[in-house]
Structure 1
Amino acid sequence: MAFNVQTFKTRALTAVVFAVVMLAGLFLNQWSFFILFSIIHVGCWLEYQKLLGLIDADYQQINPFHKYGVILLGWGFMLWMASAQWQIGSITLHEGGWWLLLIMAIVLPITEVLFSKQFQLKNIGYSLLGLAYVSLSWGFMIDLYSMGASYAGVLSGANIGWLFPVILIASIWINDTMAYIVGSFIGKTPFSSISPKKTWEGTIGGAILAVATVTLVGYFVANLRDVQSLLVISGIAAVIGTAGDLLESKLKRMAGVKDSGSFMPGHGGFLDRFDSLLLATPFVWLYLKLFL
């Protein structure tokens, strides 16, 4: 394929803007972090609903209360997972999340009965899967920030809640990059029919290099002495993150589309960018809850 200068410029500019927005959201403070993942939450949900509508036409018939109410319910879970550091006056996001969850748990079933043209349990099942796939992950991401703030505070007296999210995100980015590079040079054995471009050589090479890079940089550069957590988080990112990529590729194949969306020209949609993180986040959260 001939090199297209305009396409390259579009992809490069999009990547730079994306990186700036992500870095600002991750590092400014807890509010920028919450706003960033709230936006990502909505974007992922809308694309998930679009893909489901392409896979099963019946899901296109859900009423607006269902469509946006379930997104609001998921956002309520994110609020509920927020710790006391997210506080406006005397009100915490956690308290607001509890009330939002309660209200939506009452309102959604009523609106489903009253306003749905055709009540179908499978559509409710699809939305419940979306809550597990999208909202659960981003709720846990908010709690990862709280864990990082507590953990870092013990070590340095500073609030660097981005610690665990950044380790996880960096691990996924390095794994994806290294898998692509290794696969480009020595990849020969197809990894999965779902994603024909992936190879076993690239997948294994990317995982090894991601775990090694994150652990060595974390230990020698960032002065993080918890080698076990560095190894486990980067390992989860490599293995479960790859599974997340395949899961989203399967959804797109079933829907008959190349990209889940187009919010990033040349790079796809929210699910395309965060598919690996969606699946890896709950496993990292579970590890930290059990063993940190």
Structure 2
Amino acid sequence: MLKYRIITALILIPIVIAALFLLPPVGFAVVNIVVCMLAAWEWGQFSGFASRSQRLWLAILCGLLLTAMMWSLPAYQQLDHLALVNGSLWFSLAWWIAAFVLVVAYPGSAALWRNSRTLRLIFGLLTIIPFFWGMLSLRLYGYAENHYNGAWWLLYVMLLVWGADSGAYLFGKLFGKHKLAPKVSPGKTWEGLVGGLLTSALISWLFGRYAPLDVVPSTLLICSIIAALASVLGDLTESMFKREAGIKDSGNLIPGHGGIMDRIDSLTAAVPVFACLMLLVY
């Protein structure tokens, strides 16, 4: 399993980086819509849709909704001052605060949404739609002045999340003794969380020093730590929904990694939270 994970990662990471820097805004948006449609397909399991046709329609409707929202906006401009985008990012911040409460209170909190397909669909929309706008708003940040400025920002967030995940895994394996959320994800430990945050802080320092990011280092560090914590919450939240659905992986699209949601669960929280803090708060 580890061999397949490493091989798949070595193939996917260069493709992701190439997409960040080489695709034009419309092409990047289309790729993100496809990713969000696949995520919606998998979220159908969390919402109680056992039928493939139901999940297919959910994916199609998600794609149509994102396309309609995108085409309602002016083309090729910075998005962080548009009400639709700002609202999505603020809603995301509120949703992840609520998700934190649901995870901490689990399994008791599941009584509120376990039998409500509508609520679980709303949770999916609050996860997927702000993720799309977070990706797009960061990619288009400063696009008029430098076409690659936003690509560096997105690469930074992705490395931050991947670093936090890898640091948490290594520290957890070496030093993990105290369970972080045993009722949601028994494998995660407080020692792993600290290791992930230390790794994120190191990445933040290195990027702030050597990468072309025009930002005050202290601001970058604060936003990065909060985004890293959000990435852990995104992972735990998906684990909570998978546990309720009785499934191990959200899908089997990516060999050794599971489904799309298994790969972007941390990013669905970290990207919009980071975008909201950097573009709207600071």
**TM-score, normalised on structure 2?**
0.76
Instruction: Report the alpha carbon displacement of residue 62 of structure 1 after superposing the two structures with TM.
Output: 5.3
Distance 1:209 1:50 in 2: 33
Cα separation, 1, equivalents of 2:3 and 2:168: 24
- SS of the residue corresponding to residue 169 of structure 1 reads helix
1:176 aligned residue: 165
* 1:125-204 pair list within 5 angstroms: 125-149=119-143, 153=145, 157=146, 159-193=148-182, 194-204=184-194
In the alignment, does 2:8 pair up with 1:18?
Answer: no
Instruction: Judge conservation of contact 1:78–1:142 (CA < 8 Å) in 2.
Output: no
The 8 Å contact of residues 74 and 131 in structure 1, kept in 2 or not, is answered as no
Q: Which residue of 1 aligns with 2:69?
A: 77
Letter paired with 1:24: A
Corresponding position of 1:68? 60
Secondary structure, counterpart of 2:13 in structure 1? helix
Letter in 2 for 1:209: T
Unaligned runs of 5+ in 1: 1-6, 87-96, 98-121
TM-score under structure 1 normalisation? 0.73
Structure 2: stretches of 5+ with no match in the other structure: 78-83, 85-115
Calculate the aligned-residue CA RMSD, in Å: 2.8
Q: Distance in 2 between matches of 1:225 and 1:60?
A: 46
Contact 2:40 2:58 in 1 (8 A): no
Asked whether 1:233 is paired with 2:223, we answer yes
The alignment partner of 1:173 has SS state of helix
Question: May I ask how many residue pairs the two structures share in their alignment?
Answer: 243
Q: 1:75: Cα distance to partner?
A: 3.8
Instruction: Describe the superposition over 1:44-68 as per-residue Cα deviations: whole angstroms up to 9, x where unpaired.
Output: 11000123226xx6x9895975663
1:39 equivalent in alignment to 2:31: no
Higher-Rg structure is: 1
Q: Which amino acid aligns with 1:18?
A: L
Give yes or no for the alignment of 1:258 onto 2:252.
no
- Distance of aligned partners of 1:224 and 1:147 in 2 relative to their CA distance in 1, 3 Å threshold: closer
Q: Which has the higher contact order (CA 8 A, sep 6+)?
A: 2
Q: Which string of whole-angstrom CA distances, capped at 9 and with x for unpartnered residues, describes residues 133-191 of structure 1?
A: 111221222112122436xx3xxx55422122222111111100111111111111111
Between the two proteins, what is the percent identity of the paired residues? 30
